């Protein structure tokens, strides 16, 4: 009976997983931001927000790694396409699914904390001022920040993300345990949260910013969600993709191209393979120079 | 000699383990709340409370996973019953054991911190006001919160719990290491602690709220522990069960039904099996569509 | 050449390891307390102290687990003796080694932070008042605390310690990975640090309190280090031993005696055995009903 | 095609990896310091800085462990040379690469946070006073600290580092899982961050201090970066090397020389070996008395 419930199209199954995984990632991230912001114990509680996306990454990856590869970030999908590990034709469906998941997560956070937001803000959904609640959902630049610097910020942040997660599945290097990769990725995202969030809140994920920004437009924050800071919304939407590819090339240049020859193809001890049927997805985190995951 | 000490009834052994495991879970959670609340360094110490239930989950699961499956939460037991992984006839004994363990834990916390509570509260066991100490033990809603919103809050929180822990033992996905599942569950509970606790303190576990609430009634906080906020106590007692089942169905729809066929039954590399004798309990975290654990 | 440097007596080798391991445990714990107390950013930094003993446990256990079993706590050694897993004749040498290690650690912390202590305290080594620095080194009770309650506090705290660490190596239950037991013990010690430290700073280890207390006597804090609070020093010295044994019996009653029969003796997949020569020590964390580790 | 991109000299490949790995280590550490210092929520956010170098260690080690052994610290390389596990002729190239990586990381942090630094400091790059930003990049002693005490501080801090990381790969002891060594080293670095940073910010790594100090000289902080505190810069540059060797000898005396004979050479279950080609690098963390890694 179970099998009749399986969606026939692999791409649809993968996109469903990316929707749900990104939902989990963004739900943890933004619900924590809401809880921290809207509480009275601001100082110490604000620190908790740094742990929110990491836990979301861990939970979202365990949920979806065996189905969709757990990208949960259009910049990650793009980098995998550039590397030849993921088919280009899946880039757009994946990205849209990730944005949809983030949109839905922001919607549930808005519903759950609606009364808290109203209580905190005095009943006004505002994107600026002392009672603003928009940055629970999307990122915004510090006042001192120029456009060029915010571009640099997002390039560097996303480059660091790709540089640090790409080696985790490389068998010729010292990979993290395959079944603990979500935890190590979570640790790295935590590190990025405390290090590259100072200028403009460290989106480093187009879906994490754009989906919730659409949600705030939907629920009544106004078109200023897109026009504010001189249409700044494009920076976290576009620039992480550039940063991700840059980080990927630095990784190739300094690490992957310097590793010894891969093992001969008959090696059967692929740490990433959970079952044969899932080999294609499961190897997303693994190294490879030719295209894998050509299903559908 | 050891074996003569073994209780003959498997259900009694399991219930003993659930009592002790839930005791450990709630002891860490509420002793930390007591230490944080009753200390003078409020700001930073309050943050520590977010780590308390996670550590309790980790310790309680390692203690009991091999005997009772380490549910430690009636909403988890109910979800496993709905999934067909746990017999329905064990639902009530498990739930009562979990409530008893939580009751005992609150009692020990009350005994250990009795003088601190008296010192802090000026000698009055109060459930409201600046010197209240009741929320060390049970949850209560924020002032702005309507009943409907608190129901939504507990549905979403417990749904996220089940959604995030169900994949951890699924071999066809990318499961967490079997012997580190308690740690990963702890990470997820930490994430929930910082994200879904903003409205009404995030019980997401009927036993964790109801057992200690009974304890406060026992030791003299008065019947207001049940009547306060218009008999609000039923929300954390009843609603998490609904949320757990909802999260379970979202998991089935998006993930489990989309996974490939299970391996043929002769697979002997069950990651969850610690010893053959414990296979039934140990497989609680494992996936399965027919009833397991039919012992007693 | 290396082997000539090996000390011939196994007990001396083990005691050397316990000295060094407890040194590491207490150094992390007390240097962090010094750094936090003596800094200006009190609020948030004080929280860091909760992580200090856990990291010390992790580092100290990896250092010594293969030689001495990494007890690092007389209450743990006593409990293992009661369980029959460790020979009684080693109880006193182990306990003295642990106290010596703690004494030396406190001495190095005192040396490293001597000028900071002088700067903070105005040049007076004092055990009370706003500029006291003695609680960097040893524990003291809150003002409201009666003697009976502090005894209860230490019984409960140490019972929780033993209750939570004993299952970690039990193969018939769901054990933690053998090579990550130090990390899981660290998590549990962290949980105890935030939950049972509210009354009298949660020593739960006679060596951790008594060794540094001796050091403060040595370096000039005066005999008040022992006479203060009506000779309270005996509580963290004696009571944890009682609590450890109590926790051990609760563990036996609820968990170990309820587990299925052990595997037949020919099982060779002892997760704890690193090499045959170390089997006796390495099995300290493992379950067993007859005496192991009868060497010397 | 990939192989043509491989640099022929093993030493150059290794140095490239050390540059990149130390870049990652120092980037996380100093970007977090910048974010914490330059933000408004000082109290709780400052605590995050303790996690920065640990995450940098974890990310940097996974990136480079299979190529260069992931030393990332001249004091570590020197200790491995003294132990005979690393060739002396690589000490200088490694150390220079590590300093270069740290220099580049400080440069990128300066670029990313340039406007934040200008905004915070009022446009003056200053090494002292309330608006100083130099300690984002390099360490400085507390006012009360004498030179002798700061030397002792760095000896003890770096000795603890080596003492705690050397056992992690020793198969005759209880080693950490090979593929989680970066995480355990991160935990230890976190412990050092909260315990030995109180006097002079706990460099315990010559490259981490000297590289960024050079960067501040480059970008305009002035020669005072080297002359301040009576030319104190030599302490974190020189003394950690002494401390590392001291910690190594304490480890040998108390632990390694007391372990049983090594397994016969035909053991093939080297936990550290990822692939045969990498055996030499991969065994860096492993124990051995004769020189390994004689390539180039």
- Return the HEC string of chain B: CCHHHCCCCHHHHHHHHHHHHHHHHHHHHHHHHHHHHHCCCHHHHHHHHHHHHHHHHHHHHHHHHHHHCCCCCHHHHHHHHHHCCCCHHHHHHHHHHHHHHHHHHHHHHHHHCHHHHHHHHCCCCCCCCCCCCHHHCCCCCCCCCCHHHHHHHHHHHHHHHHHHHHHHHCCCCCCCCHHHHHHHHHHHHHHHHHHCCCCCCCCCCHHHHHHHHHHHHHHCCCCHHHHHHHHCCHHHHHHHHHHHHHHHHHHHHHCHHHCCCCCCCCCCCCCCCCCHHHHHHHHHHCCCCCCCCCCC
The shortest CB-CB distance from D153 to any of C19, C112, C177 is to C112
pLDDT at C134: 96
* D contact test, residue of C71, C115, C177 with most D CBs within 10 A: C115
Q: Which residue of C lies nearest to A43 if distances are taken between CA atoms?
A: C44
Q: Which residue of D lies nearest to B43 if distances are taken between CA atoms?
A: D44
Q: Which residue of D lies nearest to C283 if distances are taken between CA atoms?
A: D174
Interval C23-39 mean pLDDT: 93
Provide the token pair at A57.
Answer: 């990454």
The more confident residue out of A66 and A285 is: A66
The C-alpha of D168 sits at a distance from chain C's nearest C-alpha, in angstroms, of 7
The C-alpha of C195 sits at a distance from chain D's nearest C-alpha, in angstroms, of 20
Which residues, other chains included, contact B159 with Cβ-Cβ below 8 Å and sequence gap of 6+? B243, B244, B246, B247, B250
Within a domain: B241: yes
The C-alpha of D47 sits at a distance from chain B's nearest C-alpha, in angstroms, of 10
Within a domain: C218: yes
Q: Which residue of C lies nearest to B117 if distances are taken between CA atoms?
A: C144
Residue C6 pLDDT more than 70? yes
**Per-residue b or e along D68-87, where b marks 16 or more CB atoms closer than 10 Å to that residue's CB:** bbbbbbbbbbbbbbbbebbb
pLDDT at B36: 86
Q: Which residue of A lies nearest to B167 if distances are taken between CA atoms?
A: A63
CB B17 to CB C199 under 8 A?
no
Within a domain: A274: no
Q: Which residue of D lies nearest to C11 if distances are taken between CA atoms?
A: D258
CB A43 to CB C47 under 8 A?
no
pLDDT at A123: 94
DSSP A262: P
User: Are the CB atoms for C183 and C152 separated by under 8 Å?
Assistant: no
User: Are the CB atoms for A59 and B174 separated by under 8 Å?
Assistant: no
Rg (CA), chain A: 19
Interval A265-284 mean pLDDT: 39
Q: Which residues of C touch B70 (CB under 8 A)?
A: 174
What crossing angle do the helices spanning B234-254 and B74-83 adopt, rounded to 10°?
40
Q: Which residues of D touch C277 (CB under 8 A)?
A: 172, 260-261
CB A47 to CB C44 under 8 A?
yes
Q: Which residues of D touch C275 (CB under 8 A)?
A: 171-172, 260, 263
Residue D254 pLDDT more than 70? yes
Q: Which residues of C touch D197 (CB under 8 A)?
A: 35
Looking up tokens 């990316």 gives: A18
Residue A89 pLDDT more than 50? yes
Residue D296 pLDDT more than 70? no
The shortest CB-CB distance from C187 to any of B2, B35, B55 is to B55
* D contact test, residue of C31, C45, C69, C269 with most D CBs within 10 A: C31
Please report the sign of the dihedral spanned by the C-alpha atoms of residue D187, residue D190, residue D194, residue D200. positive
The C-alpha of B145 sits at a distance from chain A's nearest C-alpha, in angstroms, of 6
CB C52 to CB D195 under 8 A?
yes
Interval D198-211 mean pLDDT: 96
The shortest CB-CB distance from C174 to any of B19, B39, B66 is to B66
Interval C273-279 mean pLDDT: 37
DSSP D143: T
CB C164 to CB B24 under 8 A?
yes
Pairs of residues, one from chain B and one from chain D, whose beta carbons lie less than 8 Å apart: 6
Q: Which residue of A lies nearest to D63 if distances are taken between CA atoms?
A: A167
- The per-residue pLDDT for range C154-212, each reduced to its tens digit, is 999 999 999 999 999 999 999 999 999 999 999 999 999 999 999 999 999 999 999 99
Residue C132 pLDDT more than 90? yes
What crossing angle do the helices spanning D91-112 and D10-38 adopt, rounded to 10°?
30
Give the range among A256-265, B38-47, D107-116 with minimum mean pLDDT.
Answer: B38-47
pLDDT at C292: 40
Q: Which residues of D touch C28 (CB under 8 A)?
A: 191, 195
| SS3 state at C248 | helix
CB C43 to CB A43 under 8 A?
yes
Q: Which residues of D touch C63 (CB under 8 A)?
A: 163-164, 167, 173, 251, 255
Q: Which residue of C lies nearest to B12 if distances are taken between CA atoms?
A: C258
Interval C49-72 mean pLDDT: 96
Within a domain: A282: no
pLDDT at B180: 97
State the 10-residue block means of pLDDT for chain B, 296 residues long: 76 98 98 87 64 96 97 98 97 98 98 96 92 94 96 98 97 95 98 94 97 98 96 98 98 95 50 37 43 38
Q: Which residues of A touch B152 (CB under 8 A)?
A: 111-112
Of the candidates B262, B251, B259, B268, the residue with the CA atom closest to the CA atom of residue B288: B262
The C-alpha of D201 sits at a distance from chain A's nearest C-alpha, in angstroms, of 18
Q: Which residues of C touch A183 (CB under 8 A)?
A: none
For residue A48, give Cα distances in angstroms to A35, A203, A231, B44, D38: 9, 17, 30, 11, 19
Torsion angle defined by CA atoms of residues D132, D134, D135 and D137, in that order, rounded to the nearest 10 degrees: 150
| SS3 state at D15 | helix
- The per-residue pLDDT for range D210-242, each reduced to its tens digit, is 999 999 999 999 999 999 999 999 999 999 999
The C-alpha of D147 sits at a distance from chain C's nearest C-alpha, in angstroms, of 11
CB A194 to CB D48 under 8 A?
yes
CB D47 to CB B44 under 8 A?
yes
The C-alpha of D55 sits at a distance from chain A's nearest C-alpha, in angstroms, of 6
How far apart CA D82 and CA D87 sit, in angstroms, is: 9
The more confident residue out of D87 and A2 is: D87
Pairs of residues, one from chain A and one from chain D, whose beta carbons lie less than 8 Å apart: 166
Interval C247-273 mean pLDDT: 72
Within a domain: B272: no
Which residues, other chains included, contact D89 with Cβ-Cβ below 8 Å and sequence gap of 6+? none
Which string of DSSP letters, residue by residue, matches C88-137? Answer: GGGHHHHHHHHHHHHHHHHHHHHHHTHHHHHHHHTT---SSSTT--GGGT
DSSP C172: T
How far apart CA D85 and CA A129 sit, in angstroms, is: 59
Determine the structural domain holding residue C36 and report its residue range: 10-255
pLDDT at A49: 81
pLDDT at D285: 55
CB D2 to CB A289 under 8 A?
yes
Within a domain: A264: no
CB D46 to CB C51 under 8 A?
no
Q: Which residues of C touch D36 (CB under 8 A)?
A: none
How far apart CA C175 and CA B50 sit, in angstroms, is: 25
The shortest CB-CB distance from A255 to any of D17, D45, D51 is to D17
- The per-residue pLDDT for range D40-66, each reduced to its tens digit, is 655 455 677 889 999 999 999 999 999
Would you call C249 exposed, middle or buried from its count of C-beta atoms within 10 A (0-12, 13-18, 19+)? middle
Q: Which residues of B touch D47 (CB under 8 A)?
A: 44
- The per-residue pLDDT for range A122-153, each reduced to its tens digit, is 999 999 988 899 999 999 999 999 999 999 99
Which string of DSSP letters, residue by residue, matches C191-207? Answer: HHHHHS-TTT-----HH
The more confident residue out of A63 and C4 is: A63
The tally of domains found in chain B comes to: 1
Q: Give percent of chain A with pLDDT exceeding 90.
A: 79
- C1 — pLDDT class (breaks 50, 70, 90): very low
Of the candidates B200, B91, B218, the residue with the CA atom closest to the CA atom of residue B155: B200
pLDDT at D36: 86
Provide the token pair at B136.
Answer: 């060390």
How far apart CA A219 and CA C132 sit, in angstroms, is: 56
Chains near D with 3+ CB pairs less than 8 A apart are A, B, C
How far apart CA B267 and CA B278 sit, in angstroms, is: 17
pLDDT at B45: 59
C166: domain CATH number is: 1.20.1080.10
Separation of CA D217 from chain center? 21
User: Are the CB atoms for D272 and D282 separated by under 8 Å?
Assistant: yes
Interval A3-10 mean pLDDT: 84
Chains near C with 3+ CB pairs less than 8 A apart are A, B, D
Chains near A with 3+ CB pairs less than 8 A apart are B, C, D
User: Are the CB atoms for A206 and A236 separated by under 8 Å?
Assistant: yes
Within a domain: A287: no
Within a domain: C176: yes
- The per-residue pLDDT for range A162-199, each reduced to its tens digit, is 999 999 999 999 999 999 999 999 999 999 999 999 99
Interface of C with A (CB under 8 A): 43-44, 47
- The per-residue pLDDT for range C227-244, each reduced to its tens digit, is 999 999 999 999 999 999
Q: Which residue of D lies nearest to A159 if distances are taken between CA atoms?
A: D24
């Amino acid at each position: 009976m179970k099998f009749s419930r399986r969606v026939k199209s692999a791409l649809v199954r993968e996109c469903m997983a990316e929707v749900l995984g990104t939902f989990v990632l963004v739900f943890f991230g933004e619900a924590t931001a809401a809880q921290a912001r809207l509480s009275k114990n601001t100082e110490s509680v604000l620190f908790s927000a740094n742990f929110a996306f990491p836990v979301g990454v861990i939970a979202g990856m365990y949920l979806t790694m065996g189905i969709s590869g757990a990208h949960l970030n259009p910049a990650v999908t793009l980098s995998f396409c550039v590397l030849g590990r993921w088919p280009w034709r899946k880039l757009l469906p994946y990205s849209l699914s990730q944005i949809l998941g983030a949109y839905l997560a922001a919607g549930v956070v808005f519903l759950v904390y609606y009364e808290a937001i109203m209580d905190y803000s005095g009943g006004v959904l505002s994107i600026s001022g002392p009672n603003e609640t928009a940055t629970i959902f999307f990122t915004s630049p510090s006042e001192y920040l120029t456009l060029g610097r915010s571009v640099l910020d997002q390039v560097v942040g996303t480059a660091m993300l790709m540089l640090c997660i790409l080696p985790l599945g490389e068998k010729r290097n010292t990979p993290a345990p395959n079944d603990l990769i979500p935890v190590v990725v979570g640790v790295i995202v935590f590190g990025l949260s405390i290090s590259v969030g100072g200028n403009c809140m460290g989106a480093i994920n187009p879906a994490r910013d754009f989906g919730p920004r659409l949600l705030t437009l939907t629920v009544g924050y106004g078109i200023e969600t897109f026009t504010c800071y001189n249409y700044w919304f494009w920076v976290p939407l576009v620039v992480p993709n550039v940063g991700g590819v840059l980080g990927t090339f630095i990784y190739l240049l300094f690490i992957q191209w310097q590793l010894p020859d891969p093992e001969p193809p008959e090696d059967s001890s692929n740490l990433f393979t959970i079952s044969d049927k899932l080999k294609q997805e499961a190897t997303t985190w693994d190294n490879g120079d030719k295209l894998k995951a050509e299903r559908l």
